[in-house]
Structure 1
Amino acid sequence: MTDSSPSTGKNRSKTKPSELRLQFGQNLRKLSAKAESISGLCRELGINRTQYNRYLNGESFPRPDVLHRICSYFDLDARIVLEPLEEVEDARKRRVAGAELSQFIGGIAAISPSETEFPNGFFRYSRRSFVSDTRFVTGLVLVYREYGQAFIRGYEDRRMMKSQGLSLSRFTREFRGTIFPQANGIVALVSRRNAQNLSFNFLTRVPSFANNYWVGFSNRSVSEAEAGRIMERVVFEHLGTRISDALRVARKTGLHDAEGLPEYHRELLRIGAPMG
Structure 2
Amino acid sequence: MLANWGRTESLTLLAKMLEQHNGVTHELLDEQGSRTGVHYLRALLVSTGVLEERDEHMSRLRNFCQEYVAEVEDVEMRHVLSRYAQWHIVGGRRVGSSGLTSNQDYSARQSVRAARRFLDRLILRGQHLGECTQRDIDRWVLGAKTLTFVHWLKDQRLLAAELEVPERHIDAAVATNDPENHWTLARRLLHDSKSGGVEERVVGCLVLLYGQPLTRIVQLTRDDLIEKWSPAEWCTTDLSECAPAT
Query: What TM-score, normalized to structure 2?
Result: 0.28
Which structure carries more relative contact order (alpha carbon 8 Å, separation 6+)? 1
> Greater helix share, 1 or 2?
2
> Greater strand share, 1 or 2?
1
Query: What TM-score, normalized to structure 1?
Result: 0.26
